[in-house]
Amino acid sequence: MSVEQVVFLVLAVVAVGAAVGVVTSKNIFYSALLLIACLFTVAGFFVLLEATFLAAVQVLIYVGAIAVLIIFAVMLTERMMGKTARAWNEQWWIALLVVICLAAVMVQVVITANWQLSDGAVPTDAVSALGQTLLTTYVLPFEVASVLLLMALIGAIIIAREEPQEEK
Amino acid sequence: MIPLSWYLIVAAILFCIGLYGALARRNAIGILMGIELMLNAVNINLVAFWRYITPEVLTGQVFAIFVITVAAAEATIGLALIISIFRNRETVIVEDVDMMKW
């Protein structure tokens, strides 16, 4: 077994363990912290896959922005969440059944499928190639994504804003 | 070299755990975390397919970047909605927010 494979297995165990903790923890704050661990391991997978730019983006956006946003929301809504509150609804066993079946099907497909692998190498200047791809072939989705982000920004401000007193 | 199927299996397991969180969690923030896990699993798949099948063309990474963008927008709006609901109804338990159910 090579070093890469050992690193991968360690990352995989941490990722799956943290993800299980995210959905099972009764305390939503622990879930948020475990989610950060899981997002870090995903960045590790990106490094193993030689997508270094994406690994940096993953740490900056997911760990730096989204996880902090989630922790903020947890802090703002913590009052109602007693430690004894149930974590799952009544249909959790149906969900578990469905999820186990789905996992079995997906793993079966992944193992039996015949992937057309290529042994080409990653471009040495992958980041500049990525930038050029974004601004030539994918320039329309790129612009749409920027409009989407602007809409999300304005929408979030309007939805979460404290309403003026006279409107209530 | 790590086999492609290892990445796909880990991503499938992460996706299923996230799906379980989205389906079974009572806390709305927990549901959002489940959705983030699912999006991350998809990103692992996209990047793994890029690396193993078309490493010369960077399409997989481009799509992963778009998925991250959409995930950021979704988390922002979702958390704004949750905070707004909490302000009006004093709860983040999705079962208690059923005024549009008939």
Amino acid at B85: I
Interface predicted TM-score (ipTM): 0.91
Residue B99 lies in a domain: no
Among residues 6-45 of chain B, which lie with CB inside 8 Å of chain A?
6-10, 12-21, 23-27, 29-30, 32-34, 36-37, 40, 43-44
CATH of the domain at B84: 1.10.287.3510
pLDDT of residue B32: 93
**For residue B58, what is the enclosing H or E element?**
none
Digit-coded pLDDT (tens) for A38-87: 999 999 999 999 999 999 999 999 988 999 999 988 888 876 555 556 77
Mean pLDDT score of chain B: 91
Domain that holds residue B63: 4-94
Question: CB of A14 within 8 Å of any CB in chain B?
Answer: no
Tokens of B73: 């927008």
- Which residue is closest to A115 within chain B, CA to CA? B53
Task: Indicate the pLDDT class of residue A165, thresholds 50, 70 and 90.
Answer: low
Question: Are A31 and B30 in contact (CB < 8 Å)?
Answer: yes
pLDDT of residue A39: 94
Question: Are A88 and B25 in contact (CB < 8 Å)?
Answer: yes
Residue B100 lies in a domain: no
B90: left (phi over 0), alpha (psi -120 to 50) or beta: left
B84 neighbors A160 (Cβ within 8 angstroms): yes
CA distance A61 to B66: 12
- Indicate the burial class of B67 (C-beta count within 10 angstroms; 0-12, 13-18, 19 or more): middle
Digit-coded pLDDT (tens) for A54-65: 999 999 999 889
Domain that holds residue A132: 124-168
Number of domains chain A is built from:
2
User: In this model, does residue A26 exceed pLDDT 70?
Assistant: yes
Question: Are A19 and B14 in contact (CB < 8 Å)?
Answer: yes
CA distance A48 to A104: 26
Backbone angles phi, psi at B27, to 5 degrees: -80, 130
CA angle A23, A26, A30 (to 5 degrees): 75
Residue B54 lies in a domain: yes
CATH of the domain at A62: 1.20.120.1200
Residue A92 lies in a domain: no
A45 neighbors B44 (Cβ within 8 angstroms): yes
Q: Are residues A66 and A130 in the same domain?
A: no
